[in-house]
Structure 1
Amino acid sequence: MNSTVTFYITRHGETLLNYLHKAQGWADSPLTERGIQAASQLGQQLKNVQFSSAFSSDTSRALQTGKTILTAQGQNELQVITDKRLREWCLGCWEAENNTTFISSMMNELQIQNDFSELNFRLQEVHEVIYKSDITGMVEPFHMITDRLESFLKDTADNLIHLNNPNVLIVTHAFAIKTLLYLFSKEMLRKKPKIKNVDIITIKWDGKSFSILP
């Protein structure tokens, strides 16, 4: 009987910059009290899931969320391993920009009339706007982001597939999760336009391909 690997992929809890309605990519900020409580509640919801491993991006907000989830979930002995392949998009000169300004600028640039789900669906074009406007030299090309996320999932799945249907906790970021939806189920970008703090998606690896579970 073939084993599968199930990834429980969540966005970090609310941060200071989230609270201030600022765009946040490679810029980091600490979790708010509300962010910590939400991560703890998610951990309690996942009490019946036995994780064989846990990973987060190398930001403090993702690592703290992962540790908080595991403590509330009852597996605080499990180490959260950081991996920079799980990082958010670098937003370049848009880092810490007011969210409303950021979103309206993207919509204007792509000539979208106030339709957030359409903005989401055109994810690669959004990235292109960010990439072309970058003055920092830090924004990665889109293919580098997709490559690092896919390589992380494939490497992790290959390392765990020999176990008996293992479950993996991953704490990452909104644009990173949208990129995974773009790769494996693009239509979901219309159905789930906003990835809120501690939203969770589930991806299964069957040894051949990834699929997003409903």
Structure 2
Amino acid sequence: MKRKWLWLLPIVCLSLIACSKQTNDQTAATSTEESSVVETKVSEETTIYLVRHGKTWFNTMNQVQGFSDSPLTELGETQAQAVGNGLKDIPFVAAFSSDLGRQRNTAKLILAENANGIPEITELLGFREKNFGSFEGQSNDAMNIAVAESLNLDYPEGSDELWDFLKQELTEEELANKVAEVDPSQTAETYEEMKSRVEKAMPEMLKIAEEAGGGNVLIVSSGGLIPIILESVAPGSYNGEKIGNCSVTTLKVKDGIYTIESIGDTTFADTVQD
């Protein structure tokens, strides 16, 4: 009886092998499809419009403005509206600022001009301006003179000349650390402290943007922090370019790689006058 069924064994084995191969092929195909979906998602390009807030009262009065805040001037509001008009056809999937009123209100004014759906503004503390410690609210000259004197160098008179001198003598990192060093209260942020919060905020921003489908993102921050953002995502990309009120800095990111398209572009803000 056993011999009668022996001839069936090769057929059964071949059938099992064929089924196994088909299952493996299907699994591999499914795996490839899933991998393709993941790769497509990761490959989505995000364009970031990084804007400095509009002109404020502290800017007008030449006062140190970091964690402290002051409202936008009439010009500052008009600058923000001009940027909004210039970007009105850009469909933003997400918008960000910190909790500082000058940043948040600039973002609101920009988005109010937009012709597309307007996203809610997400506040990330990492986008705050530098903390200048006890120099907050004082004149910029008082802080800059304290830094200049610590260098034991002859420095020029005049607010603009002194600032240009410091920017020429020191890197962004050195300048931030000098401010922290000469701050009487020792509460001003160091460069590494600022960079640390930026490096937490940027991935969080990107995650929110990707969850919204990827595309265009608006970030409103401040003149002292934007260079740190650039250096954090693309080391060596910032070379002292001026970051004026309501200037637009454009970045693209794909597969985690950032490309800087422009820095401190004031084309839109320059359409309005003091």
| Alpha-carbon distance, 1:57 to partner | 1.0
Report if the CA contact (8 A) 1:67-1:76 is conserved.
Answer: no
CA distance in 2, matches of 1:60, 1:161: 26
Greater shift in the superposed pair: 93-102 or 29-38: 93-102
Residue 61 (structure 1) aligned with residue 102 (structure 2): yes
Q: 1:212 aligns with which of 254, 260, 265?
A: 260
The residue aligned with 1:127 is 176
Residue 188 (structure 1) aligned with residue 238 (structure 2): yes
Greater shift in the superposed pair: 109-118 or 14-23: 109-118
| Alpha-carbon distance, 1:93 to partner | 1.9
Q: 1:99 aligns with which of 113, 116, 140?
A: 140
Q: After TM superposition, list the pairs within 5 Å mapping 1:28-177 onto structure 2.
A: 28-75=69-116, 77-110=118-151, 111=153, 115=165, 117-119=167-169, 122-161=171-210, 165-177=214-226
Aligned length: 211
Amino acid at match of 1:143: E
CA distance in 1, matches of 2:249, 2:235: 12
For residues 40-81 of structure 1, give each alpha carbon's deviation from its aligned partner in whole angstroms, at most 9, with x where no partner exists.
Answer: 000000012110011111101111100011002235742212
| Alpha-carbon distance, 1:133 to partner | 2.3
Amino acid at match of 1:210: Y
Amino acid at match of 2:50: I
> What TM-score comes out, normalization by structure 2 length?
0.69
CA distance in 1, matches of 2:84, 2:154: 37
Greater shift in the superposed pair: 202-211 or 105-114: 105-114
Report if the CA contact (8 A) 2:166-2:175 is conserved.
Answer: no
Report if the CA contact (8 A) 2:251-2:259 is conserved.
Answer: yes
The residue aligned with 1:4 is 45
> What TM-score comes out, normalization by structure 1 length?
0.87
| Alpha-carbon distance, 1:203 to partner | 1.8
* Rg larger for: 2
Question: What RMSD, in angstroms, separates the aligned Cα atoms of the two structures?
Answer: 2.3
Structure 1 residue matching 2:249: 3-state secondary structure: strand
Percent identical among aligned pairs is: 26
